[in-house]
Chain A
């Protein structure tokens, strides 16, 4: 008995030991890319292709981050604050640039390298990688939300252009297929939604970037935006689970067929093709709704940039790897396979991309007009202050909550108090 267990232990050690080396083929420096698991495998494919193209100079290995942006940030921030040298390539949501740069967790791009990375990049995504006139990251993917609808329920030419028109239209449809899917859970996605409605109403959260921006939230546009959100949440066309819905549950509900509209990122398009072909055939798209009919809407701006971790042991190889990962060729792969819109303008003209994205031009226009979220090292606190104040949307009191937002955002900008 005793001997048998010893033999098993020895065997286990013998089997496990070679796996512990980590490096594998020693000699090739390993560049670790911290990024979420992209379901289509487009990131892995690009990492493999870049490693092969580097012919032994470096090898990119993916280290998995959680799927949700909040959880991704929590993990990255915890590691970077502890000066983790394992992080070479930092996958950054567009809203983290100021925070990571100010904390000294990422290395800036200078001179010609910065110029090369910026060439041909759409203005919105480029601005998210820039902080205090310096380029801190390479734009990898951009994103914006579109208004998705069922062509059988919404005749062409009658697609609503404002939130009020959208709610009115949906309310006239038969119950059982009249829902409008949105993301109303208490998380970053709620700030995304609010920020877009606020910008469309002519307002903003803060003006100016840096550590001491001017807080402008709380005025008439804020009240108007809150009224729009409350009307939506209280209407019969909001999903019963609005207050807990995030992107994926919203997509699944749309695919079930109970909804006429959905506001969501374009990943829903390839997803529907795979999961719900009947709905996919019926899916139309239009620009994200605005607030006033005479003002063009300001759609949300998402996406991600790649930065060099400040504690990386091979910063130059990391730069090389990043240049490869954000190249036009790979951006087309992310778009076609993963449903992640490119940051380079010319990739939208790529025939392969246009074949997958019949709405490529709409995407490019939406991204150009998109409303960026506030640029501040305290962004995380600002966003928390916003979504904790307005959630759940049903209970909004526009005037009172506009004042509360002004008060809480002013504190959050200075990183004060409990949140």
Chain B
């Protein structure tokens, strides 16, 4: 890197490469030197961009292309172009809307609970006086367990015949046979599994809060609650938004734990399972790709809402994942 160009100045331009410099209102025209440096930056980025295009843009484009066909992998010769019919088929099907609603429910509940628990855990990890490493490592254990294994453990725990949960609660509930109890188990599994991830992201935010601010506030007589709401929360808001964004996008694409717990039975089918059923079970590449593309669009909408609506700033949290 050159010594004269501060990294922060190159940042905003790099995010909007197509915009000609003159359009940027209120800014002077780039000097020749700055332009040369920006060109160099682009050349340095090029290999990474090419790789990105190969591994992400091509599959996405191919999925969009496939979604315009009636294409059954069992009868590849009968492939026919149907335009947007797959999309109208999906969007007019009650199954799509039902699964979208289910997915949103799971997402909303699990992310909300994770945020509260994750914040508590992050505070514990941040303030732990002794055994700090042990505390942090032990909190991370659920996140380290393979989702399928974790989900199986939860399924067996809630099984009416062999599980311990019914014995603990002294009930005879068949948890995974009804919509509401199944959803509760699914959300619990999600929360158990990914709260550590949320806590980790929030912890990264907490470490950025200067201790002097807390000390000054304490001198001024602020209570613990006041210090949390007036100092900590505003300062880690960017971290919270990024954590929420990541977790919402992840939770929206939930597949493995639901697949293990109910396989989508009792009206707990999520959009990812719907797509899986069309693609892998039925081998209907056309309509399955249409579902995948629509899931992608939903993800884009969620990301857009977070970035534009709440002002989540991803560029400050690079490497947070």
Contacts and interface: CB of A to CB of B under 8 A. Distances in A.
Interface of A: 70, 74, 77-78, 81, 99, 102-103, 185-187, 240-244, 249, 252-253, 256, 377, 380-381, 384, 391-392, 415-419
Given A81-B73, A244-B176, A392-B266, 12 more contacts: A81-B283, A185-B265, A187-B263, A249-B161, A256-B161, A381-B282, A384-B277, A384-B281, A415-B282, A415-B284, A418-B89, A419-B282
A99 B74 contact: yes
A81 B161 contact: no
B62 interface: no
Contacts of B72: 415
A244 B178 CA distance: 10
Contacts of A99: 74
B161 A243 contact: no
25 contacts: A70-B281, A74-B280, A78-B280, A81-B74, A102-B74, A102-B75, A103-B74, A241-B160, A241-B174, A242-B177, A243-B174, A243-B265, A249-B161, A252-B161, A377-B74, A380-B282, A384-B281, A392-B178, A415-B282, A417-B89, A417-B287, A418-B89, A418-B96, A418-B278, A419-B278
A248 to B, nearest CB: 12
Given A102-B74, A416-B89, A419-B278, A241 B265 contact: no
Contacts of B287: 417-418
Interface of B: 72-75, 89-90, 93, 95-96, 159-161, 172, 174, 176-178, 262-266, 274, 277-278, 280-284, 287, 291
Interface of A is mostly: helix
A129 B51 CA distance: 49
Contacts of B274: 418
Contacts of B174: 240-244
A392 B174 CA distance: 13
A240 B172 contact: yes
Nearest to A186: B265
A418 B90 contact: yes
Residue among A187, A391, A392 having the largest count of chain B Cβ atoms under 10 Å: A392
A242 B160 CA distance: 11
A171 B93 CA distance: 41
Contacts of B177: 240-244, 392
B278 A244 contact: no
Contacts of A102: 74-75
A54 B3 CA distance: 76
A384 B263 CA distance: 13
B91 to A, nearest CB: 10
A391 B95 CA distance: 15
Nearest to A73: B281
A267 B277 CA distance: 30
A252 B156 CA distance: 14
Given A81-B74, A415-B72, A416-B89, A241 B159 contact: yes
A384 B74 CA distance: 17
A74 B73 CA distance: 13
A99 B74 CA distance: 8
Contacts of B265: 185-186, 243-244, 391-392
Nearest to B276: A74
A163 to B, nearest CB: 21
Contacts of B75: 102-103
A280 B265 CA distance: 33
Nearest to B179: A392
Contacts of B277: 384, 419
Contacts of A81: 73-74, 283
A186 B278 contact: no
A252 B178 CA distance: 22
B278 to A, nearest CB: 7
Nearest to B95: A418
Contacts of B93: 417-418
Contacts of B74: 77, 81, 99, 102-103, 377
Contacts of B266: 186, 243, 391-392
Contacts of B161: 241, 249, 252-253, 256
Contacts of A381: 282
Contacts of B73: 81
Contacts of A187: 263
A373 to B, nearest CB: 17
Contacts of A241: 159-161, 174, 177
B289 to A, nearest CB: 13
Q: Please provide the 6 A-B residue pairs with the shortest distance between their CB atoms, ordered closest to farther.
A: A243-B177, A186-B265, A103-B74, A418-B93, A81-B73, A240-B174
A244 B278 CA distance: 22
Contacts of A77: 74, 283
Contact of B281 (A74, A103, A418): A74
Nearest to B274: A418
A418 B174 CA distance: 29
Contacts of B96: 418
Contacts of B283: 77, 81
B160 to A, nearest CB: 5
